[in-house]
Structure 1
Amino acid sequence: MRTIGMLVAGLAAMLVISFISLTQGLADISLATVIQAITAPQDLPDHHLIRSVRLPRTVMGLLSGAALAVAGVLMQTVTRNPLASGTTLGVNAGAYLAVVSGMIFWPVMQGRYSLLFAVIGGALAALAVHGLAGGSKGTPLRIALSGMIVTLVLSSITSALVLLNEQTTQGIFLWGSGSLVQNDWKGVVFAWPWIVAGLVAALFFARQLDMLMLSEETARSLGQRVGLARAAAMAAAVLLACVTVSVVGPIGFIGLMAPHLVRLTGVTKHAGLVPLAAVWGAAILTGSDTLARLFVNSYGELPAGAITAMIGGPWLIWLALRVSRRVEGGMTTSMAAGGRLRFGSYRLWVILFSFLLLAVWTLSLMIGTLPIPFTEILAVFSGGGEDMYRQILMEFRLPRLLTAGMSGVALAVSGSLLQSAVRNPLGDPQIVGVTSGAGAGALFLMILLPQLSISWVPAGAMIGGLAAAALVYAASWRRGLNPTILTLVGIAVAAAGSALINLMIIHAKLAVAPALMWMAGSTYGRGWAEVLQITPALILLLPLAWWFGRRVDLLAFGDESAAGVGLNVRNTRLYTAVIAVLLASIAASNVGAVGFIGLLAPHAARLLTGTNHRQNMVLAALIGGVLLAGADLLGRIVIVPKELPAGIVTALLGAPYLLFLMWRSSRMPRRT
């Protein structure tokens, strides 16, 4: 009866939402006109609009929502991980990258075989996440982190391709945020056979899916071919997710919300779970698109994917709190990077990276559209030199270099503090939501309050970063700021912040290139105003980060051991995180959402010096200054006359190391 009740309620919600969806848009059309257009169509403009534009869009929403929900069910079953979905496993990002690559490099083939491109990209991304998370032994946290890192890497590559091929990829930003816009029935005609086949297959193998939820030994004893069943179920899930990406772009969180909404009612058998998830997924996605169109007259066309992310963020927070009850503890060792190099002292590495920092900064001043000899740079800084060189250096290159260098230092120290605070070597301002929160706060002031001067942007970024961190810590406070909960909630907040940034960019009708450059992180056009904004923050906060060194070192021994020697663990973790959030927020206000610096620099420092926080912080700061300034330099010279944002360069440079790190940590023996 419970299953039947959920099915009736879902079908009723889907029907009501569908009719409301058909009435929403720029043209004011009544419900009576919609019913007449469907049941007794006439040669009227409103009827043609409904049948050729709005009805395909609504049907595509129903199909896509059902496909994504069932894909989420299958992925959660195969991985036995309640956080698995096309979003968290990187399938959406992989499929999106493959479709964009095909659009640029093989447009004819992509036009004919768009689904094939999407499936290949999504499958490879899922395999990468599965392998990096430790295979079948991966915990929910490891899978979520692996999926987010793979998604960040793939998204950075996609952004670089879009920026380098603006003419070819015009109009892709809205689709890339997940848009159900349909101008005819072609998308529905293409997608519905694949989606229906996937849904039927999932229903047909419902009993085998139930057996996959048992232990592997029990399933084998009942005659189940576990490996084959998992492969088949995952293939169906990837196909369903990639079909939707190839038509409507990457839409997230439906695969998380719908299955868990059904499970809350007690339905766990796949014979009921699959159809109920499909119905409720269709209703949720179509409802999200309808909600977006309620504001079309005021804010323009908003993507359904951004709305689902805004709704799904709180849902993921709740789910993370629910899941964390079963996965608390053991996270630190399972995620440990482990080891350090056997050669070189701390003093030697500081000297080497100081010279490297000086070399990179000098090259950044010398290289550009107009090369400047080293002798002229010395002359300018000595008070002489030619006027032209002095103007280029002092008004353009030097402030840009200082902004990049000091922002790199801030992000590196922030990452070092956060990794210690959450006891997770994959902690980063971007992963725990600070960077996206700061970006959203800065954009809010620039776009929605344009009457304020540009000097208010850092304040907006700091408020946004602090708000994101406050949300993460408030959700985790009752659990003693448990590192597992902090990380999972941070992922949810980061996703919601990114969706909010997408909504503001689309509302402001920003061009694709500036929008992507802001989201990726760029130092283009930075001047002395940014230098003056970040310098006081570093002067104030870096000594505080240093002063917390001994307390941060104690956190590495675990909460009970640290408390046993008199450390107030909760307050130490809170104060450390506040400093980290402030550093990351001020950096984001100056250079945008630069990622990976807060991951790479602390890891490299720890690999070279060991676990002493103060030594790590100094070396990480030097490495961060080298990385972001070097990334800015590479972005200026690799594709002259165009520029790649520094954030994309850091992602492309950091991806191989991070993937190696995840692979290495997945092979380390776990301690209990």
Structure 2
Amino acid sequence: MSVPRQCLRELGMIGAGVMALVAAFALNMAHGEARIGVGDIIRSFAYNDDLLRDVVSGFRLPRATIGVLAGSAFAVSGALMQSIQRNPMVSPDILGISAGSFFFIALATIFAPALIVFMPIAVAVCGGLVAVLMVYLLAGGFRATPLRILLAGLIVAMTISSITGALLLLYESEARFLITWSAGSLRQNGWSNVQLVWPWIVLCLIAAFTLSRAYDIARLGEDTARSLGQKHALLVTATLIVVLVLTGASVAATGPIGFVGLVAPHLVKLAGVRRHAALIPAAALWGSSLLLAADSITYMLGSLTSAPPVGAITAALGAPWLLWLVLRRSRGGQMNAASSLDFGRAGHVSPTILLLTLLLLIGLTLLAGLMFVGGLPLSGMQVMQALSGKAAPLMQKIVWDMRGPRILAACLAGAGFALAGALFQAALRNPLADSSIVGVNGGATAGILLMVALFPAASATGIGMAALAGGMLAAATVYILAWRTRLTPTFLILIGISVSALCGAFVQILVMQTRFTDNPMVWLIGGLYGANWSTVQILFPTLLAGFICAMLVATKLELLSLGDITARSLGAAIAPVRLAAGATGVTVAAICVSQTGPVGYVGLLAPHLARFLCGHSLRAVLPVSVLVGALLLGLADIAARLVIAPGELPAGSVIALIGAPYLIYLIRRSMRT
């Protein structure tokens, strides 16, 4: 391509970006509680309409300005990360930087409000730095494969978001404005945020543009760049600083907003823009336009109190884009996902001893849940008397009606999530598959909230059916799309992220536009708050039926580990077996979600622990996984109620705190094998 033609293409994209930004800016200024035309805005200043001028200058103009700044910052951050990592799938939100920044802001808001007043950007930057260090430490450094980067970012973002959700729930009064802001918001009350962040964002954008030539050279590869005299490590460090400040400043002003940093750079690249001298300003223009347009859409969907957060709209727009991008690159054979993850050899524990030990530990867990959890500690003798009906009525009520069903429900739900995870991992031949990765948790959550929004008095059966329908729809979508990529781990995870993000956007819109009788945040994090004997009556038969179905297909499912061709030659009906295992896993996981909320990590960790303890035979892994999952969630629920008693953490957050370090250990271990 000739240089003049390339320059014309770049100038055309920048010019189109300017026009798109002007249109998006005008559209955003016109929308709010009352629609105001652009002509009215101009006349308000010309004819001294004080009320209208105050609305425009005090609320709408700052909102649109912060949208331009934040959109530019997120988009340029994504472009820089994609260039320096040579990985088209990364962005600040996928790498967990946005989640880390918001987590530190939440921490400071609750425990050190003075820091938010005097140095909010520094707090956000520190949070982003911690998150990105965790990602690269987990993934193996800057030379990590795209699969490991994506896995690490997913794990870090999931963990941090879960802990942040728990903080917002526990300290609702201190952080009440953060709950709605946690999904992103451009609403401003004056110019204070704009004055705070604009110098940092503009300075970093100028720094990024100054390094344009260096990014063009870095795109040729690290070795080539070094041969041309570039100090690659210095460039990576400078880029990381720029990205952290851009993301931190934006999150401090708007909250975490996802997908802008992924979509905007790709829009520009699809137009043929490659040189960073044009890519950076074009990405900034289109990122601002996208964010302002998304914010305008929120006002079309509801009023000030019921409008969905702008982060939900960007997710709804960006997730399909990521999905398309994944499928496009899979067809092109790019981003090879053949990397395997070996989590170590199995142990050599006698099956009988192992099962008896796990049953004993579960029994002790149940006893601990009956004795120590609650405002009135009980002795073992008191518990036994209550169970046998010989204790006082108050003791029997505590044991039978309050503590007993909850600890039983925790163990049953943990067993169900573990069983589903083991089935998904075996059916998909992917050691990282579980109900959250393949979209079941997100789909079930969306189905439940839609049912409750439409029918507030819905029965437990209706909620369970809604969870099942949502989980099956999400899992089927992920499975069908991932089948085209041969179910390779990278693409399966990315497709799962996309579908989960779509479900999450739908949930956020529902939460903002529906008045639920209870705080949905309590349920969305995952926990056993409302568990009773009805919960046990639903979970027990589900687990029993699911376990029987799993054991019936276990022998044929084991053949899939040899590969489809070998399994077919040995007489296995691959499609029916995989469908039966997947349907069983989806059913069990969806019904568990309907009772406990989307508890993550259990279905991912329990099968790995089971294989480590008993070997790789699925007929042994399934029962051990069930027992390990019961033990994990049972202990997590006890810890959730004891750590900050008389307060209570969500069990999902405790599992994240337990599961993330163990998963980090597994992945780091696999890198040494």
Q: Which residue of 1 aligns with 2:416?
A: 410
More displaced 10-residue stretch of structure 1: 624-633 or 284-293: 624-633
- Note the alpha carbon deviations across 1:450-503, whole angstroms, 9 max, x for none: 253343111111111111112112222334444443222011111222222222
C-alpha distance in 2 between matches for 1:276 and 1:666: 39
Q: CA deviation at 1:509?
A: 4.8
Please, which of 26, 34, 39 is the counterpart of residue 27 of structure 1?
34
- Note the alpha carbon deviations across 1:593-632, whole angstroms, 9 max, x for none: 1111111211111111121112111111001111111111
Q: Which residue of 1 aligns with 2:512?
A: 506
Q: Which residue of 2 aligns with 1:291?
A: 297
C-alpha distance in 2 between matches for 1:53 and 1:253: 25
Equivalent AA in structure 1 for residue 561 of structure 2: A
Please, which of 33, 53, 58 is the counterpart of residue 52 of structure 1?
58
Q: Which residue of 2 aligns with 1:129?
A: 135
Please, which of 74, 88, 103 is the counterpart of residue 82 of structure 1?
88
Aligned partners of 1:146 and 1:662 also within 8 Å: no
- Residues 346 and 268 (structure 1), Cα distance of their counterparts in 2 relative to 1, 3 Å cut: farther
Equivalent AA in structure 2 for residue 9 of structure 1: A
The answer on 1:70 being equivalent to 2:48 is no
The answer on 1:335 being equivalent to 2:346 is no
Please, which of 370, 374, 380 is the counterpart of residue 380 of structure 2?
374
Equivalent AA in structure 1 for residue 494 of structure 2: L
Aligned partners of 2:316 and 2:502 also within 8 Å: yes
- Residues 96 and 535 (structure 1), Cα distance of their counterparts in 2 relative to 1, 3 Å cut: same
Q: Give the secondary-structure state (helix, strand or coil) at the position aligned to 1:85.
A: coil
Q: What TM-score do the two structures reach when normalised by structure 1?
A: 0.95
Aligned partners of 2:525 and 2:598 also within 8 Å: yes
Aligned partners of 1:174 and 1:303 also within 8 Å: yes
Equivalent AA in structure 1 for residue 552 of structure 2: W
Equivalent AA in structure 2 for residue 311 of structure 1: L
The answer on 1:320 being equivalent to 2:333 is no
Equivalent AA in structure 2 for residue 27 of structure 1: A
Aligned partners of 1:60 and 1:180 also within 8 Å: yes
Aligned partners of 1:601 and 1:620 also within 8 Å: yes
The answer on 1:7 being equivalent to 2:6 is no
Q: Give the secondary-structure state (helix, strand or coil) at the position aligned to 1:426.
A: coil
C-alpha distance in 1 between matches for 2:271 and 2:659: 43
Q: Give the secondary-structure state (helix, strand or coil) at the position aligned to 1:431.
A: coil
Q: CA deviation at 1:329?
A: 9.4
Q: Which residue of 2 aligns with 1:526?
A: 531
Equivalent AA in structure 2 for residue 638 of structure 1: V
Q: CA deviation at 1:97?
A: 0.9
- Residues 333 and 356 (structure 1), Cα distance of their counterparts in 2 relative to 1, 3 Å cut: farther
Aligned partners of 2:166 and 2:525 also within 8 Å: no
Q: Which residue of 1 aligns with 2:4?
A: none
Counting only pairs closer than 5 Å after superposition, residues 188-199 of structure 1 correspond to structure 2 as: 188-199=194-205
Q: CA deviation at 1:387?
A: 2.2
Q: Among the aligned pairs, what percent are the same residue? A: 39
The answer on 1:617 being equivalent to 2:625 is no
Q: Which residue of 1 aligns with 2:5?
A: none
C-alpha distance in 2 between matches for 1:329 and 1:113: 40
Aligned partners of 2:602 and 2:655 also within 8 Å: yes
Q: Give the secondary-structure state (helix, strand or coil) at the position aligned to 2:176.
A: coil
Q: Which residue of 2 aligns with 1:186?
A: 192
Q: Which residue of 2 aligns with 1:490?
A: 496
Please, which of 547, 552, 564 is the counterpart of residue 547 of structure 1?
552
C-alpha distance in 2 between matches for 1:371 and 1:194: 54
More displaced 10-residue stretch of structure 1: 285-294 or 343-352: 343-352
Q: Which residue of 2 aligns with 1:255?
A: 261
Q: Which residue of 2 aligns with 1:231?
A: 237
C-alpha distance in 1 between matches for 2:336 and 2:349: 31
- Residues 41 and 324 (structure 1), Cα distance of their counterparts in 2 relative to 1, 3 Å cut: farther
Gap runs ≥5 in structure 1: none
Q: Which residue of 2 aligns with 1:556?
A: 561
Equivalent AA in structure 2 for residue 25 of structure 1: G
C-alpha distance in 1 between matches for 2:580 and 2:271: 40
RMSD: 2.1
C-alpha distance in 2 between matches for 1:95 and 1:208: 27
Aligned partners of 2:387 and 2:399 also within 8 Å: no
More displaced 10-residue stretch of structure 1: 345-354 or 473-482: 473-482
C-alpha distance in 1 between matches for 2:181 and 2:242: 24
Q: Give the secondary-structure state (helix, strand or coil) at the position aligned to 1:294.
A: helix
Aligned partners of 2:369 and 2:638 also within 8 Å: yes
C-alpha distance in 2 between matches for 1:44 and 1:298: 22
C-alpha distance in 1 between matches for 2:216 and 2:577: 45
- Note the alpha carbon deviations across 1:186-245, whole angstroms, 9 max, x for none: 111111111111211121111110111112221111111111112212221222111101
Aligned partners of 2:327 and 2:485 also within 8 Å: no
Counting only pairs closer than 5 Å after superposition, residues 512-661 of structure 1 correspond to structure 2 as: 514-661=519-666
Q: Give the secondary-structure state (helix, strand or coil) at the position aligned to 1:589.
A: helix
Aligned partners of 1:69 and 1:255 also within 8 Å: yes
Q: CA deviation at 1:104?
A: 2.0
C-alpha distance in 2 between matches for 1:330 and 1:209: 24
- Residues 66 and 456 (structure 1), Cα distance of their counterparts in 2 relative to 1, 3 Å cut: same
C-alpha distance in 1 between matches for 2:304 and 2:481: 33
Q: CA deviation at 1:261?
A: 1.1
- Residues 238 and 57 (structure 1), Cα distance of their counterparts in 2 relative to 1, 3 Å cut: same
Q: CA deviation at 1:580?
A: 1.2
C-alpha distance in 1 between matches for 2:597 and 2:428: 24
Gap runs ≥5 in structure 2: 1-7
More displaced 10-residue stretch of structure 1: 308-317 or 388-397: 388-397
- Residues 91 and 438 (structure 1), Cα distance of their counterparts in 2 relative to 1, 3 Å cut: same
C-alpha distance in 2 between matches for 1:10 and 1:428: 41
C-alpha distance in 2 between matches for 1:580 and 1:139: 30
C-alpha distance in 2 between matches for 1:363 and 1:525: 19
Counting only pairs closer than 5 Å after superposition, residues 208-223 of structure 1 correspond to structure 2 as: 208-223=214-229
Q: CA deviation at 1:399?
A: 1.9
- Residues 152 and 163 (structure 1), Cα distance of their counterparts in 2 relative to 1, 3 Å cut: same
Please, which of 345, 360, 367 is the counterpart of residue 362 of structure 1?
367
Aligned partners of 1:422 and 1:487 also within 8 Å: no
More displaced 10-residue stretch of structure 1: 175-184 or 10-19: 10-19
C-alpha distance in 2 between matches for 1:297 and 1:520: 26
Equivalent AA in structure 1 for residue 23 of structure 2: V
- Residues 283 and 222 (structure 1), Cα distance of their counterparts in 2 relative to 1, 3 Å cut: same
Equivalent AA in structure 1 for residue 367 of structure 2: T
- Residues 637 and 41 (structure 1), Cα distance of their counterparts in 2 relative to 1, 3 Å cut: farther
Q: CA deviation at 1:281?
A: 0.6
Aligned partners of 2:418 and 2:626 also within 8 Å: yes
Aligned partners of 1:481 and 1:570 also within 8 Å: no
- Residues 318 and 571 (structure 1), Cα distance of their counterparts in 2 relative to 1, 3 Å cut: farther
Q: Which residue of 2 aligns with 1:141?
A: 147
C-alpha distance in 2 between matches for 1:548 and 1:398: 33
- Note the alpha carbon deviations across 1:102-160, whole angstroms, 9 max, x for none: 12222212321111111111012112212222323323232222111101111122123
Q: CA deviation at 1:562?
A: 3.3
Q: CA deviation at 1:518?
A: 0.9
The answer on 1:206 being equivalent to 2:212 is yes
Aligned partners of 2:448 and 2:467 also within 8 Å: yes
C-alpha distance in 1 between matches for 2:176 and 2:526: 21
- Residues 40 and 595 (structure 1), Cα distance of their counterparts in 2 relative to 1, 3 Å cut: same
Q: Give the secondary-structure state (helix, strand or coil) at the position aligned to 2:528.
A: coil
- Note the alpha carbon deviations across 1:394-428, whole angstroms, 9 max, x for none: 22222222221111111001111112233222222
C-alpha distance in 2 between matches for 1:609 and 1:631: 23
C-alpha distance in 2 between matches for 1:298 and 1:232: 40
C-alpha distance in 2 between matches for 1:510 and 1:191: 35
- Residues 41 and 468 (structure 1), Cα distance of their counterparts in 2 relative to 1, 3 Å cut: farther
